[in-house]
Structure 1
Amino acid sequence: MKHLILIAVLLVATVTQAQSNFEKGMQKAFELWGSKQMDDAENVFERISNAETNQWLPHYYVAQINSLKSWNQKDATVLKAQLDKAQAHLDKAMAVSPNNAELLILQAQVLTNWVAYDGQTYGMKYSAKISELYQKAYTLDPNNPRAVFGKAEWDMGSARFFGQDPQVFCKDIEKSIELFANFKPETPFHPNWGKERAEASFKSCN
């Protein structure tokens, strides 16, 4: 009996230590990111993803950083390397956490990176898929403000492109702001971005 208790204690201690190392690593990565050391933060997230193979969050942030770095990137070789890396980590994250609204939202953003780079080439290829991803994310988690805002923002851009009135989607932007106000991430490391962008977007509605 004592032997079993000792084994149980050791297992709990090991799990606690692993969680502690994960949390320390994530905190370090966010501190680097907050200090505008994006590449260093990416490296830390990548190391965590290699060590913590059952966690989707490190993969998420490697993908997100590469997506963010790709906006306004004009070099096709650099862009492809960044978005291929983002996609590889998204694929790994989705294998760990399928049907995850946050991952679907980020997947939509990565595809939007391609459209923003070359709308003529990638617009027809990815537009329907992006709409589908946002709709699926909303269906999975209708109270997720990023799902509501992302879909509305994409719909507004599409409306402008086709010469339609984007104002009809302002009510959805407003709804996302209400959801942001009440949103609480599952942990300090879970996605919690987008409120400022939604508020800025809503100002343009007025």
Structure 2
Amino acid sequence: MKKLVLVILIVAINGIKAQDQYSKGMQKAMELWSEQKTVDASNLFERIATAEMDNWLPYYYVAMVNITASFGEEDEQKLSLQLEKAKEYIDMAKNISPDNVEILVLEAMMNTAWIAFDGATYGMTLSGKNVQLYKKAAELAPENPRVVFGKAEWDMGAARYFGKDTAPYCKDIERALQLFATFKPETEFHPNWGKERAEQIAEECKS
């Protein structure tokens, strides 16, 4: 019995140490990202992903860092490298956590980065994919604020592109803000972004 208790304690202690290492690594990667050291942040998230093979979050953040860095990027070669890496890690995250709406929203964001870079080349092929991604995410988690906000922002962009009124989607932005107000991420590292951007668009709706 004493041996069993000892084994349980050793396993528990090792688990706490591993969790400590994971938490410290994730916090450090987040800090690097906030300091706009995107390459360093991406590399550290990659190392964490290698050690956390059953955890979708570090894979998600490798993709997220590379996608956000791609908006406004004018060098096609650099943009391609970033978004190809993002696609690779999104696919791995989906293998770990299928039908995860946070990953679906991120995939749509990746497609939007391609469209923002060259709408004439990528708009026709990727716009339909985004419609399907947001449709699936809304069916799976209609109360997730990033799902509601992401779809509304996408719909606004499409309306703007075709010269249509964006006002009908302002109510969806307001709904997203209501959901952001009560949303609680599962852990400190689970996705919890989007509120500030939604507030910005809500202000634009009023003007």
- Which range, TM-score by smaller chain? over 0.9
Counterpart Cα distance in 2 of 1:132 and 1:140: 12
Cα deviation digits, residues 53-88 of structure 1 (max 9, x gap)? 111111111101100111111111111100000011
Identity of aligned residues (%): 52
Q: Which residue of 2 aligns with 1:20?
A: 20
Aligned positions of 1:77-156 closer than 5 A:
77-156=77-156
Q: Which residue of 2 aligns with 1:59?
A: 59
Residue type at the aligned position of 2:132? E
Cα deviation digits, residues 76-134 of structure 1 (max 9, x gap)? 11111000000111111111111101000000000111111111111110111101111
Q: Which residue of 1 aligns with 2:165?
A: 165
Counterpart Cα distance in 1 of 2:33 and 2:161: 34
Q: Contact 2:38 / 2:66 at 8 angstroms: preserved in 1?
A: no
Q: Which runs of 5+ in 2 are unaligned?
A: none
Residue type at the aligned position of 2:104? L
Counterpart Cα distance in 1 of 2:180 and 2:53: 30
Q: Which runs of 5+ in 1 are unaligned?
A: none
Counterpart Cα distance in 2 of 1:95 and 1:36: 29
TM superposition score normalised by structure 2: 0.96
TM superposition score normalised by structure 1: 0.96
Counterpart Cα distance in 1 of 2:65 and 2:153: 20
Q: Decide which moves more: 184-193 or 37-46.
A: 37-46
Cα deviation digits, residues 17-41 of structure 1 (max 9, x gap)? 1111111111111122223322222
Counterpart Cα distance in 2 of 1:41 and 1:157: 29
1:41 aligns with 2:58: no
Q: Decide which moves more: 12-21 or 165-174.
A: 12-21
> Cα RMSD between the aligned structures?
1.1
